[in-house]
């Protein structure tokens, strides 16, 4: 059986058109974009072209875009960049953020900043009332992810942003999982910083970006050169930038069709589970009204997450327990804990995320394999 990859929320296969763009650069361009000779100017043109293309597609000015080494660096650059532009103060984030945000906030706490971690409801959604109640006179930054990478819940970003603007508080959004699934027009959103990465949208690993609203403070994290207008030192990743630009173009252009396909794949999986194991044998974690179509987090009460993942892997099916940055630890998801789910849901949750290459036939097969696994495990018990 051909392996079935259902972990697109962790990383996606590179789109053939992206790979083609990158290969041309990797085999034909080796100049440093900071050099003044012809090779350097050619390299600079590639980086500038990629920056212009991404900025145009996402609705911001090219000078508001900073290339980074990925989503984690983009999150860190925004948080530390905003915090270190001042001394002390209060930050608000949520309990379900990616660890790139949570661990950065923990470090900022060690530096003397105060951080409030907002709770979420049982679907993983933040309450605006809780956010308003957490505001203080010294609150200078709010960081809330656009869509959660484990359960797919989409947050009320526009409402939060309007509140932040009203209170003159900087607002950072981790949009790593949202790009390509949710319409994003940066000039229309009340956001000061927004983090992205390429490998979630069929682009290359190791390249990301940060939108920085013109006028928003950003203290650099890396020193050594004046690249990215002095905001992020380091020789530019030519092929990565060009590949990222192509991936953004394809992701935004094909968003509606891809969401429809993802919804059809999810429905096929759930229909197969309903027929095979029955609707009462599993629970869906997340927000049915405000959620990404390509992420489905399912608990199979009575079967531990690690046991299910191991059995799926033996059947040639790649799924996940949650964030790729922590799934290897086999710890209970901090996101699901924050959602206050029942213990049997916490200990049995599996994330299935679809994308390029997945088919409805695969979803039917996965449902049948899950039925087989559950029957085998129950017979063992």
Q: Which residues contact 38 (CB under 8 A, 6 or more apart)?
A: 31
In the beta sheet, which residues pair with residue 99?
Answer: none
∠ Cα 137 138 144 (to 5°): 105
Angstrom distance (rounded) from CA 70 to CA 10: 13
Q: Which residues contact 80 (CB under 8 A, 6 or more apart)?
A: 104, 107, 108, 219, 221
In the beta sheet, which residues pair with residue 353?
Answer: 7, 295
Residue with tokens 């990301």: 208
Q: Which residues contact 115 (CB under 8 A, 6 or more apart)?
A: 90, 91, 92, 93, 105, 106, 108, 109
Question: Is 60 an annotated catalytic residue?
Answer: no
Angstrom distance (rounded) from CA 66 to CA 230: 10
Angstrom distance (rounded) from CA 49 to CA 238: 10
| Widest pairwise Cα distance in the chain | 71
**How many CB atoms sit inside 10 A of residue 379's CB?**
7
CB of 67 within 8 A of CB of 47? Answer: yes
351 phi and psi angles, rounded to 5 deg? -100, 125
Q: Which two tokens stand for residue 214?
A: 């013109």
Q: Which of 325, 332, 356, 377 is the catalytic position? A: 325
Which residues are catalytic, by number?
A: 325
């Amino acid at each position: 059986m051909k392996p079935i990859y259902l972990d697109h929320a962790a990383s996606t296969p590179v789109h053939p058109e992206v790979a083609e763009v990158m290969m041309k650069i990797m085999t034909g361009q080796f100049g440093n974009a900071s050099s003044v000779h012809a090779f350097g100017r050619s390299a600079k043109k590639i980086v500038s072209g990629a920056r212009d293309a991404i900025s145009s597609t996402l609705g911001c000015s090219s000078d508001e875009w900073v290339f980074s080494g990925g989503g984690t660096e983009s999150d860190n650059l925004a948080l530390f960049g905003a915090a270190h532009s001042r001394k002390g103060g209060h930050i608000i984030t949520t309990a379900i953020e990616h660890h790139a945000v949570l661990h950065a906030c923990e470090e900022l706490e060690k530096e003397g900043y105060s951080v409030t971690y907002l709770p979420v409801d049982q679907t993983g959604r933040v309450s605006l009332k809780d956010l308003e109640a957490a505001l203080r006179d010294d609150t200078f930054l709010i960081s809330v992810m656009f869509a959660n990478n484990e359960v797919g819940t989409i947050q009320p970003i526009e409402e939060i942003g309007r509140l932040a603007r009203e209170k003159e508080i900087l607002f950072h959004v981790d949009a790593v999982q949202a790009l390509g699934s949710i319409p994003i027009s940066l000039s229309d959103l009340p956001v000061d910083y927004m983090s992205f990465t390429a490998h979630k949208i069929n682009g290359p690993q190791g390249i990301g970006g940060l939108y920085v609203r013109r006028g928003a403070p950003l203290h650099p994290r890396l020193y050594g050169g004046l690249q990215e207008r002095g905001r992020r030192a380091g020789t530019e990743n030519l092929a990565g930038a060009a590949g990222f630009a192509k991936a953004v173009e394809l992701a935004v252009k094909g968003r509606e069709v891809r969401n429809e396909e993802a919804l059809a794949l999810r429905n096929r999986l759930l229909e197969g589970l309903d027929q095979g194991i029955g609707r009462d044998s599993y629970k869906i974690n997340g927000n049915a009204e405000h959620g990404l179509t390509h992420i489905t987090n399912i608990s199979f009460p009575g079967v531990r997450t690690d046991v299910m993942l191991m059995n799926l892997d033996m059947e040639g099916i790649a799924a996940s327990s949650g964030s790729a940055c922590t799934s290897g630890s086999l710890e209970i998801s901090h996101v699901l804990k924050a959602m206050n789910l029942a213990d049997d849901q916490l200990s049995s949750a599996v994330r299935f995320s679809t994308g390029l290459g997945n088919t409805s036939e695969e979803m039917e097969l996965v449902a049948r394999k899950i039925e087989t696994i559950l029957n085998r495990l129950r017979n063992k018990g």
